[in-house]
Amino acid sequence: MKNHSGNQEPGGRPEESWNYSGNYVAALLEDCIRMLTYATDKGIRISKQDSQNVAAAGQAFARGKWTGDVESDLYTTKSKLAEAIKPVTTETLAPGALHCARRSTRFYFKATLVIAAILLPLSMVVFASAKLTSSSKALIEANDIMAVSLYNELEDHRDKIINKKQELIAASSSSAPPSSASSASAARVGKTAKDAGFKRIPVCMEPSDADGATAMNVGATTCSVSEASLTNGVTEPGMDADDKLADTPSALLIKAALQDFARNNRSLYAQTRWLSWLNLAHFRNVYASPWMLDQTTLRENLELSLPILTNPNRLKKQDVSMNDEKMKPEHAIDDGLQKLAVYQDIRAMAQDAGRTSDILWAAITTYVLPVLYAVLGSLAFILRDLSEQSVSKTFHPTHGRFVNRVRLVVAVIVGTVIGLFDNFWHDSVVSASPLAIAFIGGYAANTFFAFLDTNSFLDKRSGKRASNGSAR
């Protein structure tokens, strides 16, 4: 080393043997070697002088002959190499960059699977609930219309049965008027048969004994039994009036309407049970109707009694304790009236389940699903971007993680507010569901916000004000 006078100090090293390399020189040289290697691998044209500068710098560093000129030439070469390999940088070519990209890809892939596992069943439930609610409302609307006309038709049919019954009674009285003695004898025999538990009295033999012994013997004989309707085993005229009117054109129309009405009842009941299950709520019997508590009564109230418009009590095995009033033919419409009453219970349950479904799933569809779909769209973009960056070696470990996290936060914001712009989307873009828009907003966040900027209400108002000002 020379002193102020320019002479060499005693014991000092000559200036030619000084080594100017510092701690940063090794990193500088590694960056240049890494960029030069990448450029040659990708076929990027590099000048010979730049290659020589890197080689000379490596040789000087290895031999301890680092000088300021070598370092200056190396910085110039690094600038040229960085310009040649853009958008690849020294950070993206770092040894740990590719490993960090693979780790980020695995993390976001797992996150995508989790979001998809939540979205798929949730979307299916929302879709099924919406379809069930829509179908239930359609069934209620159809049955409401049918119920009014069906009630009036059933009551008209009851009047027709009563009139027919009176005609048959009048015709029977005029054709074969019974004597007072035979009437009294028939009454006694009927009472005896009822006490004895006999179901029918054959009409081919006439009871003659007052104590009913002959009637008991006749019960074991074989002869034709009257097919007329019976009341507790006693034949009465006009009791088959419902049978005679069961196949008239008006009755056939009522039968068809009853079948449609009962089928709608069964469908509405089944859909209401499914809807209650999808709502994560217990099946609610609004009116606490007892017929729903037992499978036997449930079937009796949902299925029509056959044959339709015929008093079913006369076709069952007769019970001596059965009330005579229930055996009358005008009660043939009772089964149809029962279906109308059952419909009121089912309708109340269906409307209750429908309201619950509308509130619950509407809130989920408006505020939860858009967020999830926006996050899913953001994850799709991140995975696609990570794949491209891994191939092109442009993934920046620090900057990439930060950008991806910000994109997820932006996706949550987009999904949260997407439901508030429902009318805005229909007025501004092609008709699409808010969930589709949420996915697109999460995938292309920059485009989404650019769209908001160009179509925002403030821009429109400022544009209108500017146009009004220019017009003035």
pLDDT score at 447: 78
pLDDT score at 451: 72
DSSP state string for 225-259: ---S-EETTEE-TTTTHHHHHTTSHHHHHHHHHHH
pLDDT score at 422: 58
Closest of 353, 350, 352, 342 to residue 290, by C-alpha: 342
Residue 462 CB neighbour total at 10 angstroms: 11
pLDDT score at 244: 83
pLDDT score at 21: 60
Measured between alpha carbons, how far is 392 from 386 in angstroms, rounded to an integer? Answer: 10
Opening angle at CA 251, ends 249 and 254, nearest 5: 115
Per-residue pLDDT of the chain (472 residues; tens, 9 = 90+): 455 555 545 444 455 545 556 678 888 889 899 999 989 888 888 888 989 989 998 888 888 888 888 888 989 999 999 999 998 888 888 888 888 989 999 999 999 999 999 999 999 998 899 899 999 999 999 999 999 899 999 999 989 988 888 888 888 887 655 544 444 444 444 444 444 343 433 444 444 443 443 333 333 333 343 444 444 343 577 777 888 888 889 989 999 999 999 999 999 999 998 988 888 776 677 677 777 777 888 888 888 888 888 877 665 544 444 456 667 777 888 888 989 999 999 999 999 888 888 888 888 888 889 999 999 999 999 999 999 888 888 888 888 889 999 999 999 988 888 867 655 554 444 445 778 888 888 888 777 777 767 765 545 555 555 455 554 4
pLDDT digits (tens, 9 = 90+) for 316-360: 544 444 456 667 777 888 888 989 999 999 999 999 888 888 888
pTM above 0.75, yes or no: no
Across-strand partners of 432? none
Distance of CA 368 to the CA centre of its chain: 14
H runs (alpha helix) in 68-210: 68-84, 95-175, 180-196
pLDDT score at 222: 38
Is there a contact between 238 and 168 (Cβ–Cβ < 8 Å)? Answer: yes
Distance of CA 109 to the CA centre of its chain: 26
pLDDT score at 169: 86
Strands 230-231 and 234-235: what pairing? antiparallel
**φ, ψ at 442 (rounded to 5°):** -70, -35
